[in-house]
Structure 1
Amino acid sequence: MSPKNIIFFSLLVFIPISLVAEGLQWGEMVVFTTAAIAILPLAGLIGEATEAIAVVLGPSWGGLLNATFGNVVELIIALLALEEGLVDVVKASITGSIISNLLLVMGVSMLLGGFKYKEQTFQPLIARVNASTMNLAVVAILLPTTIDLTATAIDDSTIQTLSNAVAVVLIVVYGLSLLFSMKTHAYLYEVGLAETAPPETANPLSGSAMVDGAESIADDAKVAPAADPPQPRLWLWVGVLLVTTAVVALESDLLVNNLALATDQLGLTQLFTGVILLPLFGNAAEHISAVTVAIKNKMDLSVSVAMGSSLQIALFVAPVLVLAGWLLNEPMNLDFGPLDLVAVGVAVLIANSISGDGRSNWLEGALLIAAYIVLGIAFFFYPAP
C-alpha cells in the first residue's frame, strides 16, 4: 500500500469522531473540523471506485461515470448548503473550485514536476479545446453579474430567468463536450491513458536485440504469454461507491450545519470559507492525483484533471445548482460578486496563457500559485456583506 493510501485510510477514523462530536455536542468548531477531515478519504474512495468501475465497463461508460462522480463531493456540499439557504457560500464554492483547480492544482503540479524535469509537455490541442470551452463557460456564468453591475434598473426575477436560461445552455454544452471527448474525438484523449501503461520489457531470453526474424520468433515462443490482470469486482466497487457517497452526504450535512458558527469563531467570512476552505477539502483527492502524475512526468493527465474539473464545475455543477435552487425554492442565480468576477477571469486568463503552448516548467507553476495566493489574500480581506 502506498504512503498516500495509508494516510487517506488513516483519516477514516475522523468519521466516527465527527459523529461522536455531534452527538455529545463537543462544539461547532470540533464538528466542523472533524467532518471536513473525514471528507478527504471519502473523496479518495469515490475516485478509486469510479476508476475501478471504469475498467470493467469500458472507456465510454467509464468516462461518463467519472464525469458524473468527478465532483460529487462538491455537489453534495453545495446542495446541502443551498437547502440551508447559504446561497453566498454556494456561489463562493463555485468560484473557489474553478480558481483552485486552474491555479493551485495546475500550479503545484507544474512546480513539483518542473523540479524533477526541466520541461514537461502535454497535448496543446486538448489544452486549446479546454481553454475555448472554459472561456465560453466563464462568459456565460459571469454574464448575469455583468448585466446586474452595468444595468441601471433590473429586478431579481429577470436575473433569475436569465440564469436559468444560461444554466440550460451550459448543460447542453457539457453534454456536447462529453460527446466530443468520449465518442467523436476520443482518440485525442487516449494518449494520456496510454502513458499510464507500463513500458514493454525486453525479452528476458534474448540477451540482446535479434536481427534475424527467425531467431526472434523462436525466442518469443519460449516466453509464456502473460496472464491478464484480474478484473475488479463490479458489484463490490458499486457498493463502495454508493456507501461512500451516502457517508459523504452525512459528513457534508455536519459540515454545513456547523459552517456559520465555526467560521465566526475562526474570524473568517463565509466568502473566504467558500472560496478557499471548502474547495480544498472537496477537491483534495483530485489535487493529490494531479500532482502525483505530474511528478511522474505525465502532464497530459495532470492538466486534464485540473482543467477538466474546472470545466465540470462551470458547465455542470453550477447550472445544476441554479436549477436545484429553483426546485428547492431557494433562489440561486449566477449573479456573483465583483471580486468573483475578477478572480475567475484572472484565473482563466493566466491558466490559458500558460497552457496554450503545451509546455510547462517550474516557473510557470510558481506564477500560477502566486496568482492563487494573491487572490486568496484579497478574499481574506474582503469585508463581509
Structure 2
Amino acid sequence: MHRLPGVLATPMTISCVLMAASSAHAQAAGGSITPPAGAKRFAADVRSNVAYASNVSGGDDTLATIRRIKPSDVTFQSGATLRFQLLSGRNVLFLTGAADARRHVHNKILDGEDYQVSAGAGSQLGPCSGLVGASFARRRSLVDDLALPVATNITEQPLASVSMNCASGAVIGSVQASAGKLRNRGKQQGFVDSDTRSGAASVGYRNATLGDISLIAQYSKVYYGDDPLNALPSGLSTTEDFEQYSVGVQYARKIGMRLSGTAAVLVNQLNGTSAKSTGISGNAALEYRATPRIQLSLGYDRSNQASVLANTSYLYAQSVDFKINYRLSQRISLGAGVRGSRDQYRGGIPSPLQIRDSKQLSGNVSGSMKIGRNAQIMLSAEHVERKADVRIYDFTSDNVTLGFTTQF
C-alpha cells in the first residue's frame, strides 16, 4: 500500500484488508486505519530506549531561554502496543491500542505521554474488499516541531474513514472517504483547530509487463472554525479555510527481482477565502536490492496540509530521504540514511516569532541485533541541522539512542 498525495496526504487505496498493516505512529499521525499484520489473534510489542541529545530546545540559546529549557538532556522512553483481530473467512474485526511515556532528566516540562487507539472492520466480497475504521490519538508535540516560542502543546486527533478497493481482471479501482479533526490545547499561544473532510477515487489498469497505472481524483476541505483568539479587530479571521481539487496519475511497477517503485503526480487547484493557486503535489518511492545483504530505498513527498498555526492558511511540505540497510548476519543489521525537508506556512498574516519557512537536514547511522526469536537491541546516532526564517529557531543537535524491543 502506497500513500498518495493530497491535503492530508491520506492513502487513497487500500489493498486486501487481510494483508494491510500500519504502525501505531502512522495511525496516530492521521494515517490509514488498517488491521494488524499477520494472522495472530493477539499480539503485543514492548519497547524502551534511553537517548542523549545535545540540544532538545528546538532552537538557539535565545529560544532555549524563552522556552526555559536546558539544551542538553537525557530522555527515557517506554511504551507498548497491543493488537487484537478476529478473522472469520473473508471478514476481520480489529482493535489496536498504543501508549508511550517520555521522561527527561533535566527538562521536566517536556515530560509527557502519547496514546492512540483504533478499531475497524473489513470484508472481502468477490473482487472487492472494504474497510471502515476509526481512531483517536492524543500526543504531546515534540518541542522541535513547534513553530512558536512555546515549549508544550497537546494535540487530539479523532479520525474516521471508509474505503473500497476492487479488481476485475486487468481493471482496478478504489474509492475512499475520511473525516478528521485536529484539536490543540495551546490555542492561547497561537495554535488553531481544524476539521478536514476528504474523498478520493481511482480507476486503473494492471498488467504484468507494464505494471499498474491509475487515474486519480481527490477532493479535500479544511475548515478552521470561528475562534475569537484567531481574528483581527474587525472580526475577520486570519486563518483561512481552503479546499483543494486534485487530478493525476499513479504508476507502480516491479522491474526484475531487485527493483520496484511507485510514483504519483497530481495537479492541484487550491481555493482559499481570499486567494487561489495551482500547483503540483506527489510522491515517489524506489527500492533496490543490490545484493542479498544490501537494500537501498529512496523516497520523495510533496503535499499541502492543514496548518496548526493561527494566521496561516495551509502548510506546504516537501521531504526526500535515502536509506541503505546492510544485513551483516542473520542477527545483526546495519543502516544509514539522510533526510531533507522543507516546511512553508502560507497565507494569512504572520505573527512575531512565528516560523514561516524552515529547512531541516539530518543524517543517521544505526545497528541492531536480534536476541532470541522476538527481542532486539538497537543503537543509533543522528546529526540534525535546521535553518529557519526566524533565526532563533536555527539549531544543531547530535543524538545517540540505545533501545530495546520485544514482541509477544
TM-score range, shorter chain: under 0.3
More strand by share: 2
TM-score, normalising length: structure 2: 0.24
TM-score, normalising length: structure 1: 0.25
Q: More relative contact order in 1 or in 2 (CA 8 Å, sep 6+)?
A: 1
More helix by share: 1
